[in-house]
Amino acid sequence: MPTPAIAIAGIAMVVLTATTGDVMTASSMRQLGDLDTLKAERGLPRTILAVMTNAHFVIGVLSMTLSFFSLLFTLSHADVSLVAPATGSLTFVSNAAAAKLFLKERVDTRRWIAAILVCCGVVLLKR
Amino acid sequence: MHKSTMTFRRWIILVVVMLCSACGDTCLSVGMKRVGPVSLMHLGTLIAAIRTPWVAIGIVLLLGFFASYLTALSWADLTFVLPATSFGYVIVALLSRFWLHEHVSLSRWIGVLVITAGVGFVTQGPSYTEVPKDPALPEDATEHVGQH
């Protein structure tokens, strides 16, 4: 029998860490600029080095790792039929809010509708 | 005036993100089904699983996914890339049905349609929000967004 409080806390943790991971990696790519241009200017090895040594990228990857282990922890306390749709779909909406707030992206009505449609679609797919 | 930032090469990278993600997950699924259930008491089985062809191919494809995903994020917004590449879920459903011959329920097919609609919606809009570099410029002049 799953414990609802732990399941809800686990899902919240997965969504929070996954969103942090996505926003931080997106932020690192914003800082570095177009990777194709960077590769043409500096070559592939130095481009990879620039990505791997970017602080936001490192925080992003650590957050994604934490998200993965949070997911494993949550799955040990709640059914996959609850955890997979909840985390998969909520992340789309939280990413849209975080991108608007932290990355200053122009999240217009079109993007909100797209995020909500994909969110609903993921719930249906993962049921 | 809006200027498109999406070139043919960039669309190809978005398609690579979707295909690598979908095929990578499917290969991992095929590989792990062949390995069988992994007990918490025998986690060494996971190391052995990495050496099996399907799992190894899956990992290589997921590395390709991450590289192309990062490339996409370097010239497009997170709120464009995530919904646009969620079409990968649709590809997974199609691969499950026609390659792995799994049963795909009606609600999943409806999910496929809803995601496709969401992808169609976001890809009709701008792909990138320019971050203002010169605070002296008015907002209209600094927010050039790609549109196609």
| pLDDT single digits (tens) B13-52 | 999 999 998 898 888 888 888 888 777 677 777 788 888 8
B39 touches chain A (CB under 8 A): no
Q: Is the pLDDT of residue B2 over 70?
A: no
CA A40, CA A58: separation in Å to the nearest integer?
23
Give the pLDDT of residue B133. Answer: 54
CA B14, CA A24: separation in Å to the nearest integer?
20
A127 touches chain B (CB under 8 A): yes
pLDDT in tens, B50-74: 888 999 999 999 999 999 999 999 9
Which residues 1-40 on chain A approach chain B with CB closer than 8 angstroms?
Answer: 22-23, 25-26, 29-30, 32-36, 38
> Å from A112 to nearest chain B CA?
9
Using a 10 angstrom Cβ sphere, with 0-12 exposed, 13-18 middle and 19 or more buried, the burial of residue B127 is buried
- Phi, psi at A6, each rounded to 5°: -65, -40
Please name the member of B89, B112, B118 whose beta carbon is closest to the beta carbon of A114: B118
Q: Tell which residue, A43, A47, A19, has the closest CA to residue A32.
A: A47
pLDDT in tens, A21-73: 999 999 999 999 999 899 999 999 999 999 999 999 999 999 999 998 898 88
Of residues A54 and B83, more confidently modeled: A54
Determine, for residues A121 and B114 on separate chains, whether the beta-carbon distance falls below 8 Å.
yes
B52 touches chain A (CB under 8 A): no
Determine, for residues A110 and B73 on separate chains, whether the beta-carbon distance falls below 8 Å.
no
Of residues A46 and B123, more confidently modeled: A46
Residue B6 · residue B148 · CB < 8 Å: yes
Give the pLDDT of residue B138. Answer: 47
Q: Which two tokens stand for residue A38?
A: 């960077």
**ipTM (interface predicted TM):** 0.87
B73 touches chain A (CB under 8 A): yes
pTM for this predicted structure: 0.82
| Residue whose entry in the numeric block shows the structure tokens 């997106």 | A26
Residue B61 · residue B23 · CB < 8 Å: yes
